A and B are shown apart, each in its own frame.
Chain A
Amino acid sequence: MKSFEFANPQSESEALELMNENPEQTVVLAGGTDLISLMQADIIRPDRVVDIKNIDSMHDVQEADGGLMVGALNTLEDVLDNSRFADYASVVQAADAVHAIQIQSSGTIAGDLCHLPNCWYYRNGYGLLALDNGTSLPEAGDGRYHAIFGNSGPAKFVSASRFAPALIAWGAKVRIIGPGPDEAEMLPLEYFYTTPRTQRQGTTVLKPGQIVSHIWLPKPGGAVSGNYDVLQLEGLDWPLASAAATLTISGGRVSEARIVMGHVAPTPWVSHDAATALLGKTITEQTAQAAGDAAVSRATPLKDNGYKVQIARAAVKRAILRAAGLCEGGL
């Protein structure tokens, strides 16, 4: 790990000031569960690390703007322990599926949203696009954990966020502050993610000097939700694919549906096909299966990861059944 300056701001404005002296060479430290290992591997080599953990306003959970404003620094454990999240079942289930108390107790919700890809080529120093003299390594080498959607460009990695599918399915927004001291905007989380086309581009719209300060969730309004992670291991493990469903059910039939898959594309992957398949339907094993089929109907697997199509299908089916209370999770 390269030597770095450590900054410890107490407020959002102080953090932005510290971020923006040399924004390209400055990183934000929240829980550190991702950043520290990237720094140890010399993948990220900042001159300055801005630890935002002591900013009180970013730990809050408050009702705001007809919904819930969640400070970026709420940990996974906070999400599990705070009854205000109880109506957002899929969000709680996403936190619960991180089967490691160490990550749950230090990892933060916004840190998860900004988690960099676990692509083994990226983590071994081949860059986000995993190129070796112009050859795409996930295509030429081993892409068993890589993207089955959104992979026609050079990026083949999958988005690592555990919460993004559930939050996007709820229509969550992120509050982004900076780079200017008074700059702040609310952005639908769905539009937060980007697929890089060059090695210099990142995985989100965040510009140097910007921070996610809060996540806003709309009122549940009677909608139900479910999240399902397909995990090979019961312990700490990354999902092979995941899905989240948020459904409004009126008169026994689905009147509104949002289905989002995780770990299948360089960004969380919203499936309008799956949502459309559910509209007007009663949730049963068959309709959930049909939505799963619809969700993967346009998948474009690489040579090694055709199996992920089936896993994504199963994740969608189970997330829908879970939202409807017809599946408990588990094997």
Chain B
Amino acid sequence: MADEPNLEYFWPPREENVLIGKDIQRIDGIAKATGRAKYSSDINTPGTLFAKLLTSNQAAAKIKMLNIEPAKKVPGVRAVYVFPSAYDIATGESKEIRWDGAPIVAVAADRPEIAADGVRAIEIEYEPLPFFVDEEDLAGAEKAQEETGIERVKSLGDNTEGDVESALSEAAVVHKGYYGIHTISHCCLEPHGSHCEWDGNDKLEVHLSTQNVSGTPGQFAGPLGLEQTAVHVQGHYEGGGFGSKFAADEWDLACAEMAKTTGKPVRLMLDRATELKIAGTRPSGFIDVTIAADAEGNIIAWDSHHWGTSGMAGGTVTLGKIPYVFDFANRNRKATGLVCNTGPNRAWRAPPHPQLCALTMTAMDDLAAKLEMDSYDLFMKNLPNVSKGIDDRIDVYAEQMKIAAEMIDWKAKWHPHGKGGGEGAVKRGLGMALHTWGGGAGPCTCLLKVHPDGSVETFLGSQDLGTGTRTVIAIVMAETFGLTLDDVKVNLGSSRYPKSGASGGSITVGGVSSTHRMAAQKALRQIFNLVAAKYDVKADTLAAKGGQILSDGKPVCSWKQAAGLVGPMPLEVQGETTREGLTSATVGGVQMVEVSVNTETGVIRINDFVCVQDCGLIIDELTARSQVLGGMIMGISYALTEERIMDSHTGRYLNADLENYKLPRIGDIGNLRVKMYQPASEYNRGVVGLGEPPVISPGAAISNAVANATGVRVPVLPLTPQRVLDALQKGGAA
């Protein structure tokens, strides 16, 4: 830990920080707001061709006939590429098309509309095959499997702890419930895609919208038959990446191939419909659960079977993590995967915790209602049942619950489910949920340079997804050298820079901050030694603050003078992820929300939504809070409006647009309040990642608040007016 004396690298004492832990705006904010920042989708080097895709309008099919010649004849079309995953153009052999939106042909042309003309000119005929897309319908999947002989249901295992049957027979209260959460699609503002440009036939320059700058050159090189040294991937600004942008995708390879055949740069970004259909989804989960407690509210048994889909892979929400955050002495669990003709899943922010939370904490909340207990008291009472591995966070959860309850005035506002009274059709209710995440530091390396003129810069093959990675790095360097943010420069987003891990799993901030603290401390010690020799002071008395080098608090020289001592060439040091002393892992977090439900229309509004979140040492509190707010907003989205709607008749993705794929707007997100939980014990843990945790609890918390408001559980997320009214009608409340 940081307060242990013999560590080589450590954070400054909290009270001495000038920048760390303060509210600091993103250093690239102005560049982004003014358009100076160039995203991959902005790259438009001279002669760039624009590509469009022909995608499948079938859920399952073989291609009977494909004729790309008419596309080639469209004036301005420069390249036509047939995806090998769909069709072998040499032999005329069709592969199996397995979902709506699967790419079949790419066309590159002088202008986007000419590429679209080219796509339109392609002749294609399909031979439809049987499909299944109804992810909630386990019985339907079994029936389809029986009827067609095509695998639709996969057993994903089961396991048991203790003796559920005896526990249920001894329980004071037993609750049986059904809950669910539908598949959603990744919705990055900047869709997936790239700009590819060749230098001759053996060097490829790629601007890729990616979470994985250092890891993707090889993914281009292999399939293209290049040496990895021949591929340079850049991603300086990303328009969002939530787990779906780790790879060089087949459409990126198509882009590179077309750039090669035409000898011109090509840009291929997915259109919105294709983006929603094939660029990654979050698996669904539906659960039958029995949960039981003793008369005091101690939960003693859990028995569940859940199912859902991740697409053709036939996965669902991970079996081994349910129930979520908590585990109970007597527990059965079983999972079944449905094989659906839907676009494949990709990691979606905190996989698969939002679903686990929504399937677990709703059942716990209904159990509390059955016990006639305040939900808060049930969660608090069961903190001793927090799962092994995170049980050292029990006291933190208890503290966070108290803070959140005070913020939202839980005890004054809470009422038994459906007993809030209130005027007219609009009912108010409170709900809560807890979450956890790892967030340990990911791999990172950097090359940090202190130039003789005192300027400082770093190079690393990481990426800033928009969350403030650049800013965090700059803060760490500036704090360590006693400089301002303007004095340090961050160079990232190139695969030629020292390798850095992919940004996923909330591991980036721990990686980049510890790497740069290490590198900066190394460099500073070398400079202190030079200063000590030159000015005849002891190196261990020196500190860098306010652009000066101080000895026991007295100025010795300026930073620039000190930097000049390195000689005519820059001082270069390397840094790497340093877990000991600088970072830690595992966070908790609590969210509480108050909603209004219009029981006449089924429309829900968020009134007040609070989050208390720990994440160890906070480098930039402003961007930390922004991360949490972003998570809460994404959570409101999948809780209330956002879902993929598959058509059981055509097998198509019906709402693959941003009109019917409903994302919340400003007016839908209510009053959000964030409290970063940061007592000294958190600071002393070092840095822990924060990206995932705040998106986990909203589904369960909002569902619980709606149940509290109306007295009726709306079992499946998102809580659309349709589901709310159907539940109210079924529950006799409408």
Q: Which of B641, B664, B725, B729 has the most CB of A within 10 A?
A: B725
Can you report 10 residue pairs joining A to B where beta carbons are below 8 Å apart?
A3-B117, A99-B667, A120-B660, A124-B654, A144-B645, A231-B603, A232-B603, A237-B662, A310-B600, A331-B598
B393 shortest CB reach to chain A, Å = 36
Q: Which one, A23-31, A135-143, A218-226, A252-260, is touching chain B? A: A135-143
> Does chain B have a CB within 8 A of A183?
no
A307: Cβ under 8 A from any B Cβ = yes
Give the residues in chain A near B720, CB-CB below 8 Å: 232
B603 touches A137 (CB 8 A): no
For chains A and B in complex, what number of residue pairs have CB atoms within 8 angstroms?
101
Known contacts A120-B660, A230-B721, A310-B600, A1 near B648 by CB under 8 Å? no
B: contact size bracket: 35 or more
A310 touches B734 (CB 8 A): yes
Which of chain A's residues 290-324 have a Cβ closer than 8 Å to chain B? 305-307, 310-311, 313-315, 317-318
Is B93 part of the contact surface with A, judged by Cβ < 8 Å? no
- Cross-interface CB contact of A311 among B596, B601, B649, B665, cutoff 8 Å: B601
Residues of B within 8 A of A234 (CB): 664-668
Pick from A1, A125, A310 the residue with the most CB of B within 10 Å: A310
Of B647, B648, B652, B662, the residue contacting A233 (CB under 8 A) is B662
A63 within 8 A of B: no
* A120 vs B117: C-alpha distance when bound (angstroms): 23
A313 nearest in chain B by CB position: B600
State whether A141 touches B647 (Cβ < 8 A). yes
B426 adjacent to A233 (CB under 8 Å): no
Nearest-CB residue, chain B, relative to A234: B667
Q: Does B602 contact A (CB under 8 A)?
A: yes
In the bound complex, residues from chain A placing their C-beta under 8 Å from that of B640 are 232
Is the C-beta of A114 less than 8 angstroms from some C-beta in chain B? no
Q: Tell me, rounded to whole Å, the shortest Cβ–Cβ distance linking B110 to chain A.
A: 14
Q: 4 nearest interchain CB pairs?
A: A235-B665, A234-B667, A141-B649, A314-B600
A1, A142, A233, A307: the one contacting B726 at CB < 8 Å is: A307
Is B113 among interface residues, defined by CB-CB distance under 8 A?
yes
Q: How far is the CA of A121 from the CA of B655 in the complex (A)?
A: 10
Name the interface residues of A95-133: CB closer than 8 Å to any CB of B.
99, 118, 120-121, 123-125, 132
Residues of A within 8 A of B57 (CB): 125
Cα A311 to Cα B725 with chains together (Å): 9
- Determine whether B116 belongs to the interface, using a CB cutoff of 8 Å to chain A: yes
A60 is an interface residue with CB less than 8 A from chain B: no
B659 interface residue, CB < 8 Å from A?
yes
CA distance A185 to B285 in the complex (A): 58
Inter-chain contacts of A137 with B (CB < 8 A): 647, 649-650
Given pairs A1-B113, A137-B649, A235-B667, 5 additional interface contacts (CB within 8 A): A3-B117, A42-B120, A234-B667, A310-B734, A314-B601
* CB nearest neighbor in B for A285: B424
Nearest CB of B to A136, in Å: 9
> Do B721 and A232 touch (CB < 8 A)?
yes
Instruction: Decide yes or no whether B67 CB sits under 8 A from chain A.
Output: no
Q: Does B160 contact A (CB under 8 A)?
A: no
Question: For residue A120, which residues in chain B have a CB less than 8 angstroms away from its CB?
Answer: 654-655, 660
A205: interface (CB < 8 Å): no
Contacts of B666 in A (CB 8 A): 234-235
Contacts of A230 in B (CB 8 A): 601, 603, 721
Any B CB within 8 A of the CB of A36: no
Counting chain A CB atoms within 10 Å of each CB, the highest count among B601, B603, B654, B665 belongs to B601
- Contact residues in B for A331 (Cβ distance below 8 Å): 426, 596, 598, 603, 605
Asked if B45 is at the interface (CB within 8 A of a chain A CB), the reply is no
Kindly state whether residue A240 has any CB partner on chain B within 8 Å.
Answer: yes
Cβ of B261 within 8 Å of any chain A Cβ, yes or no, is no
Question: B649's closest neighbor in chain A, by CB?
Answer: A141
Residues 254-294 of chain B, each 1 if its beta carbon lies under 8 Å from chain A, else 0: 00000000000000000000000000000000000000000
Closest residue of chain A to B425, judged by CB? A314
Contact of B722 with A by CB under 8 A: yes
Closest B residue, CB atoms, query A228: B601
A141 and B651 CA atoms in complex are apart in Å by: 9
Task: List the A residue with the shortest CB-CB distance to B726.
Answer: A307
Is A307 touching B722 in the complex (CB atoms < 8 A)? yes
234-253 of chain A: CB within 8 A of chain B: 234-238, 240
Please, which residues of chain B bring their CB within 8 A of the CB of A318? 600
- Chain B residues, Cβ within 8 Å of A3: 113, 117
Residues in A neighbouring B113, C-beta threshold 8 A: 1, 3
Contact among B602, B605, B668 for A235, CB-based, below 8 A: B668
Contacts of B652 in A (CB 8 A): 124
Interface centre among A42, A125, A135, A237 (most CB of B within 10 A): A237
A144 B668 Cβ-Cβ under 8 A? no
Given the contacts A140-B649, A233-B662, A314-B600, A1 and B116 also touching, CB distance less than 8 Å: yes
Assembly CA distance A1 to B113 (angstroms): 7
Q: How far is the CA of A137 from the CA of B603 in the complex (A)?
A: 27
